[in-house]
Amino acid sequence: MFVRQTIIHTAIDKIDEAAKLFEESVIPAFRSQKGYQGASFICDRTSGKSICVSLWDREQDAISNEKSHVYQEQLVKFIRLFTMDPFREGYELIIQDEKVR
């Protein structure tokens, strides 16, 4: 599995707006993409730093998501909220534990 994280910085009072945009726009757009496995929005409310994580079957699926411009179309929706340029990284997910419900 492959993990892409995008680090964003917003004003502290804009974190909820960014999270709502992630939930209502990014997740639905990514769900239609090949290899998409899920996403999370993680934030530090004291600094305005958030980490947007998406999980993909393979690195190539995340790259295809970017080549199709779906990633960029979603990122642009956040521009007015940014206080710094976003930063993107990718990682191989080697171990993942999930609690059985």
In a domain, 81, yes or no: yes
pLDDT score for 99:
86
Instruction: Specify the pTM.
Output: 0.90
pLDDT score for 18:
98
CATH code where residue 78 lies:
3.30.70.100
Average pLDDT, the chain: 96
pLDDT score for 101:
75
The rounded distance, in Å, linking the Cα atoms of 2 and 56 is 5
Q: What's the pLDDT tens digit per position in 77-89?
A: 999 999 999 999 9
Q: Which domain holds residue 85?
A: 2-92
Q: What is the DSSP string of the chain?
A: -EEEEEEEEB-GGGHHHHHHHIIIIIHHHHHTSTTEEEEEEEEETTTTEEEEEEEESSHHHHHHHHHTTHHHHHHGGGGGGBSS--EEEEEE---------
In a domain, 66, yes or no: yes
